[in-house]
A and B are shown apart, each in its own frame.
Chain A
Amino acid sequence: MKNGKAARILPDLLRFILILCMAVLLSMLLSGVNDDNNPFAMGIFILAVALVARFTSGYVWGIAASLVGTFCVNYMFTYPFWAFDITYPGYPLTIAVMLIVSVIISALTTQIKLQEQLRFEAEREKMHANLLRAIAHDIRTPLASMLGASSALQEQRLPPQDQAVLIGSIRRDAQWLVRVTENLLSVTRISGDVSLKKEDEVLEEIIGSAVHKYRRATDALPVRVEAPDEILVVPMDAVLIEQVLLNLFDNVSAHAQNATQIWVYVRADAGKVSISVEDDGVGMSRDQLARMLEGTQFSEQSDKKRGMGIGLSVCRSIIHAHHGTLSAGRSAHGGLALRFELPVKEEAYGPDDP
């Protein structure tokens, strides 16, 4: 906060000086036209005070401007010119008017800023509340099923094959909860004040690692990666982009009906790389696609089927934080194609020894 204040002093000072100089100049120009007692000078300076109060923060600058303004009007633009005369009858009134104007405008400005801040915070609160609701919604079902299954295992005498089914379901639910928490952690990693931990990564390493991790899941589909032979170096937060890929793979396993295979296509274009995760499942209607990408789908859907709403909206925030884009379309294989693009710095890398 202290730093913020210090950083604001200089621009405020510049505005203060600029506005007052313009007022003096304008008054001087006009006094050439009208050589009388310059009735307009006071008006111009009141305007200047109002402007200073509006465009600076706090009361100090406005009050200072009104003092300087009163002095200027008295010294330069009222009889006797270029002399300071306190006996001038309107003088206390001038000071009072300017002070009042400056205080009122400063107060208004401060209040407006405060209200903006409050509105922004309220908005953020609302977003957090929505997210929390969506999460609670999403984790309640698997938790209930885990609790039920484990109590059945403990309290009933079940034949071994039934036990195996229940244990399998507990494990799947737990795995799903792990994914939800990983996604939440990723969100905190981007939404915190800490900026991304970007490093120059070789893209194939991240894809390779994501595929390797995905294969360990119980319901994993085979993944085929097709990428150009060149070495693609992309600045990114590797852990987060890996999370994006895992979410997209999980999305296929969870939602693409009849999908038998996942394809990952990597393309390098000028200044960016695009990575497309595609499947040969049933796909989605245009409407569903749009809703899914907007992340508006999470709460309605999670009762029926575990929504990947959180997963995809996390993908979107991660990619946005990288200044990239996420889009959806139809795959040539018949299913869904989710494509994201990341910007690349233009540089040439030699693979060989320096």
Chain B
Amino acid sequence: MAQTIRNKILVIEDDPGINAFLRTTLTAENYDVLTVLDGKNALQVIASHCPDCILLDLGLPDMDGGEIIRSVRGWTQTPIIVISARSMENDKAAALDQGADDYITKPFGVVELLARIRAALRHTCTMAEKDEIGLTGAYRVHGLEINYRKHRVTVNGKDIHLTPNEYRIVALLGKHAGRVMTYKAILRELWGPSAAMDNKILRVHMASIRRKMEVNPNEPQYIFTEVGVGYRMAEAEDE
């Protein structure tokens, strides 16, 4: 991706230290950076500047992060990456279910942050144009291929025999590769909002999928667990 036009990133964070760190890092990476310290200003800046990506701290003093997500999602699909502390799994999951695209846990390193931002920006690009799946009918990462036309999954060319439900889970994660899907979102997408499925059944399905796809289910390469939140399919950029 040639970056002739610089992407504009809005940082909504009330801590001056982290704010400064983000501004410096992102500016050095050739992004245009806007920073605001509270929720009220954030909403105004989003409306007037239309950033390409939003980094949102969940613990703002004046406004609940969820409120900002909902209000932004009312009129734009600009990617939102939530910044939150660990041991707040419920808040992360809630933020994702309210429309945030991804989250990053404090404290985080530069590499991780930049990877998340690139992934978020890439997803908006692919959504606008045509993504790989739309063009080729398949998602590929490392040796894994999910063929959406033939409903077939292969690893290094070898057929993986998934049950229909297992295929649906893998296919869904593949479509959202690189991003966390919460348990709730997966269950809702696959079995509808009122399904009597619970997290445990989903987890057992996932264990079975991993036994078929991964070399060692304890050290997955394709589908990662975000403890307490959900699952994430590997992307080409993941190491």
Q: Is B204's CB within 8 Å of the partner chain A?
A: yes
Task: Check B207 against A231 for contact (C-beta < 8 Å).
Answer: yes
0/1 interface trace, chain B 82-115, chain A, CB 8 Å (1 if under): 0000110100000000000000000101001000
The residues of A that contact B226 with a CB separation of less than 8 Å are 209
Q: B212's closest neighbor in chain A, by CB?
A: A351
Chain B residues within an 8 Å CB radius of A350: 204
Count A interface residues, CB 8 Å.
36
Q: Is the CB of B211 within 8 A of A238?
A: no
Tell me whether B204 and A202 are in contact (CB under 8 A): yes
Interface residues in B197-219 (C-beta closer than 8 Å to A): 199-201, 203-208, 210-211, 216-219
A123 interfacial by beta-carbon distance below 8 Å = no
Per-position contact with B for A70-101: 1 when CB-CB < 8 Å, else 0?
A: 00000000000000000000000000000000
Contact status B211-A212, CB under 8 Å: no
Least CB distance, A139 to chain B, in whole angstroms: 15
B217 and A353 contact, CB distance less than 8 A: no
* CB contact under 8 A between A351 and B211, given known A212-B224, A225-B216, A239-B227: yes
Given A204-B210, A206-B227, A199–B199 Cβ distance below 8 Å? Answer: yes
Q: Shortest distance in angstroms between A173's beta carbon and chain B's nearest beta carbon? A: 13
| Nearest-Cβ distance from residue A21 to partner chain B, whole angstroms | 51
**Inter-chain contacts of A264 with B (CB < 8 A):** 218
A204 to B216, CA, bound (A): 10
**B228→A202 contact, CB < 8 A:** no
Interface residues on chain B, number (Cβ under 8 Å) = 31
Would you call B211 and A178 a contact (CB within 8 A)? no
Q: Which residues of A321-354 are within 8 A (CB) of B?
A: 349-354
Q: Which residue of B lies closest to A266 (CB)?
A: B218
Residue-wise, chain A 210-236 has the 8 Å CB interface mask toward B (1 for contact) of 011000100000010101010101000
Q: Cβ of B199 and Cβ of A209 under 8 Å apart? A: no
What string of 1s and 0s marks CB contacts (under 8 Å) between B154-196 and chain A? 0000000001111000000000000000000000000000000
**Min CB gap A234→B, angstroms:** 11
Complex Cα–Cα for A44 and B203 (A):
65
Min CB gap B89→A, angstroms:
6
Across-interface contacts of B136 in A (CB, < 8 A): none
Contacts A233-B200, A351-B207: A227 and B218 contacting too (C-beta < 8 A)? Answer: yes
Whether, in the assembled complex, B61 has its beta carbon less than 8 Å from a beta carbon of chain A, the answer is no
- Expressed in whole angstroms, the minimum distance between the Cβ of A331 and any Cβ of chain B is 18
Q: Contacts A182-B86, A239-B89; is A200 near B203 (CB within 8 Å)?
A: yes
A317-B43 Cα distance, complex, nearest whole Å: 44
Return the chain A residue nearest B165 by Cβ: A353
Given A178-B107, A239-B228, A185 and B203 touching (CB < 8 A)?
Answer: no
Q: Which residues of A contact B109 (CB under 8 A)?
A: 216
Chain B residues contacting A204 (CB-CB under 8 Å) are: 207, 210, 217-218
Is B137's CB within 8 Å of the partner chain A?
no
Nearest chain B CB to A205's CB is how many angstroms away? 4
B197 to chain A, nearest CB (A): 9
- CB of B164 within 8 A of CB of A353, answer yes
CA distance A352 to B112 in the complex (A): 36
Q: A284 CA to B205 CA in the complex, in Å?
A: 41
B225 contacts A by Cβ under 8 Å: yes
Given known contacts A185-B86, A208-B220, A231 and B208 CB-to-CB distance under 8 angstroms = yes
A339 vs B207: C-alpha distance when bound (angstroms):
24
CA distance A275 to B200 in the complex (A): 21
Cβ-defined partner of B227 (8 Å) among A205, A351, A352: A205
A residues less than 8 Å from B112 (CB atoms): 216
Residues of B within 8 A of A207 (CB): 218
Given A202-B207, A352-B163, A352-B208, residue A208 in contact with residue B228 (CB < 8 A)? no
Inter-subunit contact B205/A208 (CB<8 Å): no
Which residues 120-169 of B sit at the A interface, judged by CB distance below 8 A? 163-166
Whether the pair A231, B227 counts as a contact (CB closer than 8 A) is no
Given contacts A212-B224, A239-B227, A242-B227, contact A233 B204 (CB under 8 A): yes
Residues from chain A with a CB closer than 8 A to the CB of B200 are 199-200, 233
A-B contact pairs, 17 of them (CB 8 A): A185-B87, A199-B200, A200-B200, A201-B203, A202-B204, A205-B203, A205-B227, A209-B225, A211-B218, A211-B219, A225-B216, A225-B219, A233-B200, A233-B204, A238-B228, A350-B204, A353-B164
Q: Which 8 pairs from chain A and chain B are nearest by CB?
A: A351-B208, A225-B218, A205-B225, A231-B207, A200-B200, A202-B203, A204-B218, A202-B207
Residues of chain A at the chain B interface (Cβ within 8 Å): 174, 178, 182, 185-186, 189, 199-202, 204-209, 211-212, 216, 223, 225, 227, 229, 231, 233, 238-239, 242, 264, 266, 349-354
Given contacts A200-B199, A239-B86, 12 further A-B contacts (CB under 8 A): A182-B86, A200-B203, A201-B203, A202-B204, A208-B225, A216-B112, A227-B217, A231-B204, A242-B227, A349-B204, A350-B204, A353-B164
